[in-house]
Structure 1
């Protein structure tokens, strides 16, 4: 059966030799880590970025979905008749749709109305059904849909503990190994919180001195919640960066592993996205811009030698209709960036 073949594939990772038959799922993980050569703020202080857009669907979410689906199969919750159901700002939806199609399964993805046209098109291209809902409420619909039939399985990236565990097992280990254990700070934004929580746990287990910094968009509740503000829900406001920040606290976000939170806004993130494309040759999305902007702020405070690592979660090709579109930039009040 296809789902058993899939299980064998992701449990028994094949060695990538010239004689191996490489399949799409073999390409998840082991992404490159690069030095951002134009962003060193002072001698001896260096910023490195993990190119997570090099995963098969163009984002880091391939890691968690492969791992969570594997666990679902092992626990008997997913079989050949299962339809995978998930809520996503776009990237996780693409990963669910891709992995479902590779198993011969169906998938239903709920996305917010601010999801880019490119992300929706990518999800549909894998054969998934896409349902658009309002940004503030789309997250409740996957559970309601999954309750309609025992053949529906809610992946539930926002509460599934295997989300951060996937990053602990793969992304965190890769960063540590690629940096030869020489890391002073790790900077990342959070949506589900799986990336920063999983990576932080791995890094701090290896070296308790590694500083973990949360990069959070203005309008998200994470930074005010982390800072102990009882009225953290009052900080909610709309923002355009996708895949970063949240209007609720997710179970997969572990604030105990965070040492500091830094706020960025849409303008800072988009300007950094443009800079990365024009100076570093890296085509990335808005959350990547926010991550790198925050990493640079951390770097400015450090004295060399020091090494900071951040993550570039997805590809800029998913935002050609938005942050790389002059008309969209003008419409949203970023005329000075539309050049």
Structure 2
């Protein structure tokens, strides 16, 4: 029997047709189940790729401690992959990070440091400057982030759909997913639309709309792993054809619908992605196929978006059934 290592399980995730969401005959929504990667999120792809590049470039060795800032999923990926290599890791997370995500990161042996949401991103670079044995992954500026999606996820989506794709819809935090996947798809077919699903309170949509005061649109929102309060170097804004805004209620309501109607346990950004994909599908004429991704698992949010008490506390108690 051949031996399979955990890292070999990254990628080749299933693509499913969300049959209960088709708005009209001949218009379909398909979703890539990225939560079926080893740590329960698509971030396994980019971290495996970026660490490999770091090793190849001589930046990572047996004495390296990997440092990163993460809303949770990237941190879990760093912690898992570092542990399989016998390396230490330090992860900075925002204070809105779910208890489950923090517990998962710690379970892989990483040190977790919680900082305020608006400032946590600056601490990994500060920490990395303390020692030459620290290596900052820097997912928000590392060009290998979108390249990883171009090389893996983008290719898989094209192959899964046999090239029959009219639009790709995805939220952006670092922007690596949308940038990398859309580049791959558009190289194969320039007519494919790249659509950004952005939470209200993120700066991406107002920035893309040309608003000079885009930073004034920053507001708090509860969906994790989507949207940003600053622009990231890994986000290719030129590749975006359209931006659709969603709010916490729309995203979380869709998460519950996916669980009850499709049997898919996904996180909040997945709900935002699918809600936006449905909005796109409603205005398309058959035949048409829209593809999106479910970035992480709903099991990472049992204390939040699947918790009736938490929903009531954030004003979404009406979603409890």
Would you say same fold, with TM above 0.5? yes
Residue aligned with 1:38, SS: helix
For the aligned residues, what is the CA RMSD?
Answer: 0.4
1:102 alignment partner in structure 2: 84
2:228 alignment partner in structure 1: 246
Cα distance in 1 between the residues matched to 2:68 and 2:208 = 27
1:38 alignment partner in structure 2: 20
2:41 alignment partner in structure 1: 59
Cα distance in 1 between the residues matched to 2:209 and 2:236 = 14
Cα distance in 1 between the residues matched to 2:3 and 2:112 = 32
1:306 aligns with 2:288: yes
Give ranges in structure 1 of 5+ residues lacking alignment.
1-18
1:209 aligns with 2:191: yes
2:297 alignment partner in structure 1: 315
Alignment partner of 1:220 out of 202, 206, 210? 202
Provide the TM-score with structure 1 as the length reference.
Answer: 0.94
Query: How far did 1:20 drift?
Result: 2.5
Alignment partner of 1:192 out of 171, 174, 177? 174
1:333 aligns with 2:289: no
Cα distance in 1 between the residues matched to 2:275 and 2:236 = 22
1:1-339 matches, cutoff 5 A: 19-339=1-321
Cα distance in 1 between the residues matched to 2:242 and 2:2 = 44
Query: How far did 1:21 drift?
Result: 1.3
Q: Which runs of 4+ in 1 moved over 3 A?
A: none
Cα distance in 2 between the residues matched to 1:183 and 1:334 = 34
Query: How far did 1:335 drift?
Result: 1.2
Give ranges in structure 2 of 5+ residues lacking alignment.
none
Cα distance in 2 between the residues matched to 1:336 and 1:126 = 36
Cα distance in 2 between the residues matched to 1:276 and 1:181 = 25
Cα distance in 1 between the residues matched to 2:179 and 2:22 = 26
Query: How far did 1:320 drift?
Result: 0.2
Cα distance in 2 between the residues matched to 1:292 and 1:337 = 17
Cα distance in 1 between the residues matched to 2:5 and 2:112 = 26
